[in-house]
Amino acid sequence: MGARRGVIPWVAGLGLALCALGPAGAGAVGAGFVVLVNQANPVASISRSELKRLATGETKQWSSGAVVHLGIIPSDAPETKYLASLFDMSTRELLARIQEQVFKGELRRPAVLRSSTDCVAFARSSAGALCIASGDEPVPPEAHVVVLH
């Protein structure tokens, strides 16, 4: 249990990027959040199990060949809670799993985000970006919403 206390501060030091956003009606899966990727990514929809494999390093590349780069807010932010809930995990369990996979070399070090706005900027600038954001954030042309099914 003692090692788990350091999970959140350790993850805060990562470069972790997991973004999701867009209009509530455009790919929203519930709770007002969406999955966001770079516009160059041809993926239009993914399952929760595919999302979990991407977010935890089991799947390392998109079909386009771009390396998956997760962006995440390393805290109890609503976006992170939502992502964890998709995998039936607590936020702490999700962040610990990400930390474990980074240490094992199975997951690229994620981009650390502070907000849904950061997720949008990350998705715009990184070809392999994947993040969860508020459905209230506008989606720029350099990014797009991926529908969860």
Domains in the chain, number: 1
Helices (H), the chain: 7-12, 48-55, 78-86, 91-104, 116-125
How high does pLDDT run on average in the chain? 83
The enclosing domain of 20 has a CATH number of 3.40.190
What is the model's pLDDT at position 31? 66
The pLDDT tens digits of the residues spanning 44-58 come to: 999 999 999 999 999
Tokens representing 63 are 């079909």
What is the model's pLDDT at position 20? 33
Terminal-to-terminal C-alpha distance of the chain: 35
- State the residue range of the domain holding 96: 2-148
CB 113 within 8 A of CB 18: yes
Tokens representing 108 are 């690229």
The pLDDT tens digits of the residues spanning 60-114 come to: 999 999 999 999 998 889 999 999 999 999 999 999 999 999 999 999 999 999 9
Mean pLDDT, range 118-125, rounded to an integer: 96
- Rounded distance, CA 17 to CA 14, Å? 9
